[in-house]
Amino acid sequence: MAIKEELQKQLIDELVVESLEGLDAFDHEILVLETGEQTADTWNNAFRIIHTIKGSSGCVGFGKVESVAHVGESLLAVLRDGSLTPDSNTFSSLLRYSDALREMMRSIGQDGVEGSADHSQLVSDIQALHSGLTGAKHGNPAFGFFDEEPKAPEALSDTPMDAPTAAPLAATTADKEDTNASHPAGSQAPKGSISDSAIRVDVSQIDRLMNLVGELVLARNQIVQSTGQDADPAHVAAVQRVNLITSELQQSVMKTRMQPIGNVWSKFPRIIRDLCHELGKDVALVMEGNETELDRTIIEAIKDPMTHIIRNSIDHGIEHPEQRVADGKPAQGRLSLRAFHEGGQVNIEISDDGHGIDVGRVLQKAIQRGVVTQEQAARMSQREMLALVFLPGVSTADEVTNVSGRGVGMDVVRTNIEKIGGNVDLHSEQGKGTTIRIKIPLTLAIIPALVVTCGDDRYAIPAASLVELVRIEGDQVDKSVEHIHDAPVYRLRGNLLPLVHLAKELELTALRHEEEAMFLVVLQAEGRQFGLVVDGINDTEEIVVKPLGKEMKGLSVYAGATIMGDGKVALILDVLGLARRAMLLDEGSRQSAKDRDGIKAPDADNETRSLLVARVGANRIAIPVSCIARLEEIPAGKIEHAGKLEVIQYRGRIMTVVRLASVLGIPDGASPAESADSERLLALVVCALETSNLGVIVDAIEDIVEERIQIEIREGQRGILGSAVVQQRVTDLLDIKELARMAA
Amino acid sequence: MGRTVITVDDASTIRRMISFTLRSAGHEVIEACDGMEALNQLKLRAVDLVISDINMPRMDGIELTRQLRALDRHKSTPILLLTTESDPAMKAKGKQAGATGWLVKPFQQDQLLGVVATIFSR
Amino acid sequence: MAVLDVQEVVRQQEITHVPLAPGVVRGLINLRGNIVSTIDMRRLLKMPPLDDESQSINVITRVAGALVSLLVDHIGDVIEAPDDRFEPVPSTLGSEVKHIITRVCKLPGNLLMILNPERIVEFDRVNLPVPIELHKDRAA
């Protein structure tokens, strides 16, 4: 009996899936019919869908669904035959009918029973749409043989009842024979229904496949890595084969999981139509990028957020036709959906040409709810005010309408998107409209990437952004790197390439030695190129992209992380994020990029800073690591004099040095004998200024720390910004710029 | 004794149901999703029974019946058409095309087994 | 911390430093193919770093659906304490501490603070700082 139950359950699952798919197609057909764009088959398609549902649910034992389906089928039959002309009421009823069936199916899918909802009103509505109900059970025998029938009650046929023989039939089939006779036996039938070229696979199976392939990629990386140059040729050949096969396998499996976003979007025309009817609005839907493919999990995750955003747009964004005309807009509103891939992410844009978000009201609501205070509100930028929409409890509608739902806010949308590692952005212009941008990383992607080193760590750069690699020999570096308005550039085949030092952007201390070559990775972001300076370049590898946790969400320079062949974690750089942060894009984004990453101006409180702590006499001095280019030790004798200044020759240039001790007016702790010793090594901190470097001589370098500090700004001492508690001791923070001015 | 049956229907639920039911009775079951596919299969092999829905894309049950009757191999293969109450005209067409009998949808598993047993006993 | 939140404990792992991340985030570790962030509890509690971290332990915890590793010095026992030993957080504690501690438990000679892992990983979106004061805790 267990098998029978199991089979029954499978049947039920099959029924539910088949029916729900059918109902979606049904909706589509009805919408097509409503706009008058139908073909000859449209009514029949709609009919057949309901007919199938009726038959299937009857066979599985769901009589209630069967009889409801029966009612609709009858109506559709007369509509199909043309004996009844539909009006807008008909279509609305049919869509409601479809919803009822859907509801019953969902109930079956969830609980195995048809549900207790009472559809009798709907049934009578449908019946009322056409007079009479054909197909009532006539009490005919359920089964019979044609050659045994004495007299069929509905004897419409004019041929005598004979045992089926070939003779009379040969004549009637002669003309039909041609179509098939021309096909040689076994030839490919023309592509018809999708069911003969597709199979259904349980989603969890695909997930398992996906995970296995991911593991295989990692294992393959390890094998490739550990196969040295001197390996046995047969072994190498085998490894190469594994390599190739793994790549292909991985691409194929990924494909199985990808679905076009159109699958999600296909439900929207119906939703929008219903909303428009309900609210008395007129909105045209434009969809671009239906074929953009996303992984299954992403599709699942964005369904609800997108639906909510669209509902919001129509409910609160787009005005009534009369209002629009009064404002000089076309009566019909426009809602556009756009999807495309960029920079390893999927971008989805939903825009409407409604009246935009009333920032003033958002602010009011926010203040009312106690989300922000009046003072905070006064200091907010436009962007920040718009961003308030994402906080729970802030709704721009005066009453929460039935349509958008209570409790479902933009905060939930944002949470859902961020859960899959994406982010949501909102732009709005009063009177013009609102655009919501969703960006989601292709988190389960396996992508080719270039591995580079910077400092002690490796970083991966998606190959998609990679243009070329440049190596500059040590002695050429100073000649090749020029400066334009303080920004370093490199002349690559005549074009100026802005340079970004990865070490600098990540606030790491550079380790490159003078004589060593400089490695440039030429990258592309938003149509512009730049060169990323790294310490070393490793290989190109295929990596599994894994998202970073919530804790790292604000770091725009990373696109995720991956596990390398040796099991260690490496960060994946986000080329666009890096470019923005390095101020390569417009000035406007410069500050916001820095804000986003949580780095504020030096006089901010309580930020985590990377600091170099040095000792000068009995004082502790701190210098932000971001200002530091190199740490050196130089013999005292190297210091020369140029006018009043002390300088040294550094990397082919003349660099000013300052002895911090003298600047601060404190004794430097060295004895006269030591001071005179030209061999004595001095600790030199090379600080990078806008146009040049400045060498700062300290007594000793203590430590490099990362701490959250509170700076007490102090006037009165030139060269010192203020003091803070670093490593539980009072430390003075150096003002490099001021120092440079003092030394000049 | 186990026979071979082909079930032709574009509704996968019904195909499944028929397959399960008949397999549990010891028969072998082939599935086809419409008349065209069934015809292609049946050109290459014989079966002991064809159970076919009438309303299907590409080629419906009536046409399938006609085509099968024109083939030597299937001149006398039992063909059972699944009809619906609301279309009595179809039954007549089926008879005209040369079908063996009809069964009204929806039907229950035991009904199906009974009908099939009856057919095989003739 | 509630034992049920803890998935497993592993020894000190190779940590990949994440430049620009908040200071308390020590870095990322590879946990059987999953990339997990590691939060340095000593840094969180403003304690000086250990010289020898070879004995440090990663407590892998499930927080809000994701895995996070808390780097601690030492794992104590798993204790089961009767309900009457638990008390609400004393009002004498600073508000910032109350922020990450759910309640306290009276042990013989000791006061054990029960951490709320969710609070630890909460990084305020608007980048307002969340100062945390000093209180030592043992994983329970």
C35 contact residues in A (CB cutoff 8 A): 546, 548, 561-563, 569
Interface partners of chain B (CB pairs < 8 Å, 3 or more) are A
Is some CB atom of chain B closer than 8 A to the CB atom of A139? Answer: no
Is some CB atom of chain B closer than 8 A to the CB atom of A150? Answer: no
Q: What residue of B is the nearest CA neighbor of A177?
A: B67
Q: Which of residues 160-179 of A touch B (CB under 8 A)?
A: 161, 164-166, 169-170, 172-173, 176-177
pLDDT at residue A156 tops 50? no
What are the E-state strand segments in A474-552? Answer: 481-484, 487-492, 495-501, 518-525, 528-534, 536-544
Q: Which range is most confident: A242-256, A534-548, A626-640?
A: A626-640
Cβ separation of A551 and C21 shorter than 8 Å? yes
Q: Average pLDDT of chain A?
A: 76
In a domain, C18, yes or no: yes
B105 contact residues in A (CB cutoff 8 A): 54-55, 58-59
Min Cα distance C12 → chain A (Å) is 13
CATH (residue range A2-129): 1.20.120.160
Residue whose tokens read 């398992």: A208
Share of chain A above pLDDT 90, in %: 9
N-terminal to C-terminal alpha carbon distance within chain C:
5
**The CATH number fitting domain B4-120, selected from 2.160.10.10, 1.50.10.10, 1.10.10.10, 3.40.50.2300:** 3.40.50.2300
Cβ separation of B88 and A156 shorter than 8 Å? yes
CATH of the domain at C40: 2.40.50.180
Lowest mean pLDDT segment, chosen from A404-408, A422-426, A688-692, B61-65: A404-408
Is some CB atom of chain C closer than 8 A to the CB atom of A725? Answer: no
Is some CB atom of chain B closer than 8 A to the CB atom of A29? Answer: no
Structure tokens at A236: 């190498």
What does the pLDDT read at residue A112?
78
Element (H, E) at A461: strand A457-462
Q: Which of residues 53-92 of C touch A (CB under 8 A)?
A: 64-66, 68
Closest-CA residue to A507 (of A740, A296, A688, A741): A688
Tell me the C-alpha distance between A725 and A731, whole Å: 6
Q: Average pLDDT of chain C?
A: 68
Is there an interface between B and C (3+ Cβ pairs < 8 A)?
A: no
Contacts of A410 (CB under 8 A, 6+ apart): A308, A312, A389, A390, A394, A424, A426
Cβ separation of C29 and A708 shorter than 8 Å? no
What does the pLDDT read at residue A405?
47
Tell me the C-alpha distance between A153 and A150, whole Å: 10
Cβ separation of C68 and A549 shorter than 8 Å? yes
Residue of C20, C68, C121 lying closest to A506 (CB–CB): C20
Distinct helix (H) and strand (E) counts, chain A: 23, 31
In a domain, C93, yes or no: no
A553 contact residues in C (CB cutoff 8 A): 123
What does the pLDDT read at residue C79?
65
What does the pLDDT read at residue B27?
92
Min Cα distance C73 → chain A (Å) is 20
pTM of the model: 0.46
What is the residue type of A582? A
Would you call A484 exposed, middle or buried from its count of C-beta atoms within 10 A (0-12, 13-18, 19+)? Answer: exposed
* Residue A376 neighbours by CB distance under 10 Å: 13
Exposure letters A659-696 (e unless 16+ CB within 10 A, then b): bbbebbeeebebeeeeeeeeeeebbbbbbbeeeebbbb
* Residue C32 neighbours by CB distance under 10 Å: 9
Q: When comparing pLDDT for A621 and C48, which is higher?
A: A621
Cβ separation of A563 and C30 shorter than 8 Å? yes
Would you call A641 exposed, middle or buried from its count of C-beta atoms within 10 A (0-12, 13-18, 19+)? Answer: exposed
What does the pLDDT read at residue A590?
39
DSSP string, A355-401: ----HHHHHHHHHHTTSS-HHHHHT--HHHHHHGGGSTT--SSSS--
Share of chain A above pLDDT 70, in %: 77
Structure tokens at A4: 């029978």
Q: What is the 3-state secondary structure (H, E, C) of chain C?
A: CCHHHEEEEEECCCCECCCCCCCCEEEEEEECCEEEEEEEHHHHCCCCCCCCCCCCEEEEEEECCEEEEEEECCECCCCCCCHHHEEECCCCCCHHHHHHEEEEEEECCEEEEEECHHHHCCCCCCCCCCCCCCCCCCEC
User: For A242-252, what is the mean pLDDT?
Assistant: 80
Lowest mean pLDDT segment, chosen from A172-181, A206-215, A365-374: A172-181
Residue of A215, A456, A606 lying closest to C33 (CB–CB): A215
User: For A95-114, what is the mean pLDDT?
Assistant: 87
Q: What residue of A is the nearest CA neighbor of C68?
A: A549
In a domain, C104, yes or no: no
Tell me the C-alpha distance between C9 and C55, whole Å: 12
What does the pLDDT read at residue A20?
92
Residue of B13, B76, B99 lying closest to A56 (CB–CB): B13
- A486, A691 Cβ separation under 8 angstroms: yes
Q: What residue of C is the nearest CA neighbor of A508?
A: C19
Strand C86-88 vs strand C101-107: parallel, antiparallel, or unpaired? antiparallel
In a domain, C128, yes or no: no
Closest-CA residue to A253 (of A445, A123, A382): A445
Cβ separation of B43 and A185 shorter than 8 Å? yes
Interface partners of chain A (CB pairs < 8 Å, 3 or more) are B, C
Give Cα separations from A228 to A542, A544, A674, A717, C29 (angstroms).
18, 23, 53, 60, 27
In a domain, C98, yes or no: no
Give Cα separations from A56 to B31, B59, B106 (angstroms).
16, 20, 7
Cβ separation of B17 and A140 shorter than 8 Å? no
Query: How many residues would you count in chain C?
Result: 140
CA gyration radius, chain B? 13
Residue of B16, B40, B100 lying closest to A164 (CB–CB): B100
pLDDT at residue A459 tops 90? yes
B86 contact residues in A (CB cutoff 8 A): 70, 73-74, 77, 134-135
Question: What helix, strand, coil percent values describe chain A, rounded to 5?
Answer: 40, 25, 30
What CA dihedral angle connects A122, A125, A126 and A132, to 10 degrees? 130
B53 contact residues in A (CB cutoff 8 A): 55
Would you call A148 exposed, middle or buried from its count of C-beta atoms within 10 A (0-12, 13-18, 19+)? Answer: exposed
Exposure letters A45-61 (e unless 16+ CB within 10 A, then b): bbbbbbbbbbbbbbbbb
Share of chain B above pLDDT 90, in %: 42
CA gyration radius, chain A? 36
pLDDT tens digit sequence for C32-80: 666 788 888 877 767 777 887 777 888 888 776 677 888 888 776 666 6
Tell me the C-alpha distance between A281 and A322, whole Å: 9
What does the pLDDT read at residue C100?
65
Q: What residue of C is the nearest CA neighbor of A566?
A: C30
A708 contact residues in C (CB cutoff 8 A): 23, 129, 131
In a domain, C42, yes or no: yes
Cβ separation of C33 and A605 shorter than 8 Å? no
> In the structure, what pLDDT confidence band is assigned to residue B78 with cuts at 50, 70 and 90?
very high
User: For A208-237, what is the mean pLDDT?
Assistant: 72
Closest-CA residue to A209 (of A547, A444, A449): A444
Give residue A165's Cα distance to chain centre: 65
Give Cα separations from A427 to A38, A281, A332, A358, A441 (angstroms).
38, 23, 21, 12, 21
Tell me the C-alpha distance between C59 and C10, whole Å: 7
Min Cα distance B16 → chain A (Å) is 7
Dihedral-angle region of residue A289 (phi above 0 means left; psi in -120 to 50 means alpha; beta otherwise): left
Tell me the C-alpha distance between A420 and C29, whole Å: 20
C68 contact residues in A (CB cutoff 8 A): 549, 551
Closest-CA residue to A596 (of A342, A378, A383, A441): A383
Closest-CA residue to A52 (of A81, A89, A15, A13): A15
C21 contact residues in A (CB cutoff 8 A): 551-552, 555
What does the pLDDT read at residue A92?
87
What does the pLDDT read at residue B88?
73
Query: How many residues would you count in chain A?
Result: 744
What does the pLDDT read at residue C135?
23
Is there an interface between B and A (3+ Cβ pairs < 8 A)?
A: yes
Query: How many residues would you count in chain B?
Result: 122
Residue of C20, C64, C121 lying closest to A555 (CB–CB): C20
What is the residue type of A244? L
Cβ separation of C20 and A570 shorter than 8 Å? no
Q: Do domains A262-357+396-441 and A446-596 have the same CATH topology?
A: no
Q: When comparing pLDDT for A21 and A440, which is higher?
A: A21
User: For A577-601, what is the mean pLDDT?
Assistant: 52
Homologous superfamily (CATH) for A446-596: CheA-289, Domain 4 (2.40.50.180)
CATH (residue range A262-357+396-441): 3.30.565.10
Tell me the C-alpha distance between A309 and C5, whole Å: 35
C48 contact residues in A (CB cutoff 8 A): 727-728
Query: Domain tally for chain C?
Result: 1
Is A337 strand, coil or helix?
A: strand
Give residue B108's Cα distance to chain centre: 16
Element (H, E) at A640: strand A640-642
Cβ separation of A11 and B63 shorter than 8 Å? no
CATH architecture of the region A607-743? Beta Barrel (2.40)
Structure tokens at A105: 């199916």
Q: Which of A23, A81, A137, A145 to mutate to test the interface with B (most CBs of B within 10 A)?
A: A145
Give residue A345's Cα distance to chain centre: 5
Is some CB atom of chain C closer than 8 A to the CB atom of A561? Answer: yes
Give Cα separations from A63 to A19, A115, A126, A598 (angstroms).
15, 12, 18, 62
Residue whose tokens read 């990028």: A289
Is some CB atom of chain C closer than 8 A to the CB atom of A425? Answer: no
Q: What is the 3-state secondary structure (H, E, C) of A618-632?
A: CEEEEEEHHHEEEEE
User: For A470-485, what is the mean pLDDT?
Assistant: 79
Give Cα separations from C74 to A546, C50, C58, C120 (angstroms).
30, 12, 9, 18
Is A168 strand, coil or helix?
A: helix
Q: Which range is most confident: A141-145, A379-383, A546-550, A634-638?
A: A634-638
Question: Is the reported ipTM for this assembly greater than 0.85?
Answer: no
pLDDT at residue A154 tops 50? no
Q: What residue of A is the nearest CA neighbor of B55?
A: A48
Residue of B39, B86, B102 lying closest to A144 (CB–CB): B102
Is there an interface between A and C (3+ Cβ pairs < 8 A)?
A: yes
Give Cα separations from A673 to A613, A649, A664, A679, A699 (angstroms).
26, 25, 22, 12, 16
Chain A / chain C CB contacts < 8 angstroms: 88
What does the pLDDT read at residue A578?
85
Residue C50 lies in domain:
3-72
Q: What residue of C is the nearest CA neighbor of A421?
A: C66
Cβ separation of C23 and A706 shorter than 8 Å? yes
In a domain, C96, yes or no: no
Q: Which of residues 366-395 of A touch B (CB under 8 A)?
A: none
What does the pLDDT read at residue A418?
66
> In the structure, what pLDDT confidence band is assigned to residue B98 with cuts at 50, 70 and 90?
very high
Is some CB atom of chain A closer than 8 A to the CB atom of C49? Answer: no
User: For A688-713, what is the mean pLDDT?
Assistant: 82
Lowest mean pLDDT segment, chosen from A289-293, A321-325, A587-591, A630-634: A587-591
Domain ranges of chain B: 4-120
Tell me the C-alpha distance between A417 and A439, whole Å: 8
DSSP secondary structure code for residue A550 in this structure: G
Structure tokens at B81: 């058409």
Residue of B24, B36, B82 lying closest to A192 (CB–CB): B36
